[in-house]
Amino acid sequence: MRTGRGPLFLRRADGWLLLLEVERWCSEADAVDLEVVRRCEGAVLDVGCGPGRLVAALGARGWPVLGIDVSEEAVARTIGLGGQALRRSVFEALPAEGRWGTVLLLDGNLGIGGDPRALLTRMAQLLSPGGLLIAETVPGPDIDERVRVHVTDARGAAGSPFPWARLGTPALLRHAHRAGWHAVDQWTAGDRCFVALRTRTTNNSAEPPKSTADTNSQRARKPSADRPVADA
């Protein structure tokens, strides 16, 4: 995150490696990202915002938007781009729960926690009634995996293991249906796949959360696990 360069990998216990696209995440939003931006509604929560390219792109277009990430470096980089961000797990208390118009789960963040049903349940708690979830899925065959992984670099330095999930579009649609969501769209752009879902209750008047609507106040603070790094 500091240099904007990889390589970094997710490594499974059996040695399987998944390359993390650090350079793309640390670049400006590309055409595929901007298609996601175009589809957003109301105030946007970017879960696992990483270095903040989507937060920056949305903010530049006048959207009320907040990023959250467990990485101190990611949050600091998002703030450096002029965005608002919290160092926070999605399963911790968050601002404006139940009032977000759109929640984003991009760049593999559908895997957070290793339990898709639990994550989808949490997304429904965060969104306003009828709110929009845009999730990025794994391209290719019908993938539905629960794994334990750790982050490693090219030298083999490894972090602590944590649970993760990998879902293709069919698997996400199955889990979403059981959890009471309904799909409103799915698309492929470049080599990336996306699904748009809505919560069970339809309500098109998503009110922008007051805690993130004022994008003029973005003073950086020392990140911590339980306080914002930017005034909301």
Hey, which bits of 154-212 come out as E strands?
A: 162-167, 182-189, 192-198
Q: Flag whether 229 is in a domain.
A: no
Q: Flag whether 219 is in a domain.
A: no
How much is the pLDDT for 25? 92
Q: Flag whether 16 is in a domain.
A: no
How much is the pLDDT for 42? 97
- Per-residue model confidence as pLDDT tens digits over 10-42: 898 888 888 888 899 999 999 999 999 999 999
Domain enclosing residue 124, as ranges: 31-148+163-213
Distance CA 156, CA 165 (A): 22
Q: Tell me phi and psi for residue 25, to 5 degrees.
A: -65, -35
Q: Flag whether 158 is in a domain.
A: no
- Per-residue model confidence as pLDDT tens digits over 98-147: 999 999 999 999 999 999 999 999 999 999 999 999 999 999 889 999 99
Number of domains forming the structure of the chain: 1
CATH number at residue 92: 3.40.50.150
How many C-beta atoms lie closer than 10 Å to residue 124's C-beta? 21
Name the packing angle between helices 116-126 and 169-178 (round to 10°): 60
**3-state SS record for 100-138:** EEEEEECCCHHHHHHCHHHHHHHHHHHEEEEEEEEEEEC
